[in-house]
Amino acid sequence: MDEKKKNQLGFIHQFIPSNNSKGNSSTLVLLHGTGGNENDLIPIARVLSPANASILSPLGKVLENGMPRFFRRLSEGVFDIEDLKFRTHELVHFIENASKLYSFDLEHVIAVGYSNGANIASSILLLRPEILSTAILFRPMVPFIPDTLPNLISKNIFMSAGEWDPIVPRQNTEKLFDIFKKAHANISIHWQKSGHELGQEEILAAKEWLSHHIS
C-alpha cells in the first residue's frame, strides 16, 4: 500500500484484507480502549472471524495524559459531548474513505469496540447508523441521550458487560440496552462475572453470536 495514500485517511491505522477470495466478506472495524492502539484488538478479531473478514483498526487521535482515546472526556464517565459528536462524524468519514481506498463493502461493516472504543461505536449507532450493519460492544456506556432515537431495526448489536465493573455501573449498561431496544435494534446482552477487563468466555460468546448474524 502506498504510504502517502494511507496517510491521507487521517488516522494511523492497520488494514488487513480478507482471505475470502469471493470478495464479499464483512469488515471488522476495531476500536480500542483508553491507552490502547491499532494493534490491540487484532487477536480478538482473529478469534471472532479468523480469515473471512477484513480488518480496519484505527488509532484514537485524542490523547489523555499520553493515552490514545477516540474522544475527550471531562472526568471518569463524564464525556465531552461536543467532541464526542465531532469525533464520531470524523471516524465515519475515515471508514467511508477507507472503503474506497481498500475496496471493502460499506454494507457489511461490523464495529468491535472495547470500553472507549465501544462508546464511540455506540455513538456511531445513534448518530450515523447507516455505516454499521452490526456492532460488538465490550464494556460500553451510554455515550449521550439522543433527542430523537434512530431507527435501528436492521442493526445487530451484542453487548458484553462485567457484573462487578467499577467503571461502568450496571444501571448504565441497562440504560444503553434500553435505548437500543427502543430504537428497535436486534440486541443481545452477555453478563460476565468480571470487572472491566475482557475475558475469553465473552469473546467466545461474541464469536458464537456473530456466527449467527453474518452470512
Q: What is the mean pLDDT of residues 38-45?
A: 97
Q: Does this model's pTM top 0.85?
A: yes
pLDDT (tens digit per residue) in 132-148: 999 999 999 999 999 99
User: Of the listed 93, 190, 196, 213, which one is catalytic?
Assistant: 196
User: Do the beta carbons of residue 154 and residue 176 sit within 8 Å?
Assistant: no
Fill in the DSSP letter of residue 37. Answer: -
User: Of the listed 13, 122, 133, 165, which one is catalytic?
Assistant: 165
- Is 196 among the catalytic positions? yes
CATH number corresponding to 12-211: 3.40.50.1820
pLDDT (tens digit per residue) in 98-122: 999 999 999 999 999 999 999 999 9
User: Of the listed 99, 115, 122, 123, which one is catalytic?
Assistant: 115
Looking at residue 44, its pLDDT comes to: 97
Q: How distant is the alpha carbon of residue 124 from its chain centre?
A: 8
- Is 115 among the catalytic positions? yes
pLDDT exceeds cutoff 80 at 191: yes
- Distance CA(52)–CA(120), nearest Å, equals 25
Domain extents in the chain: 12-211
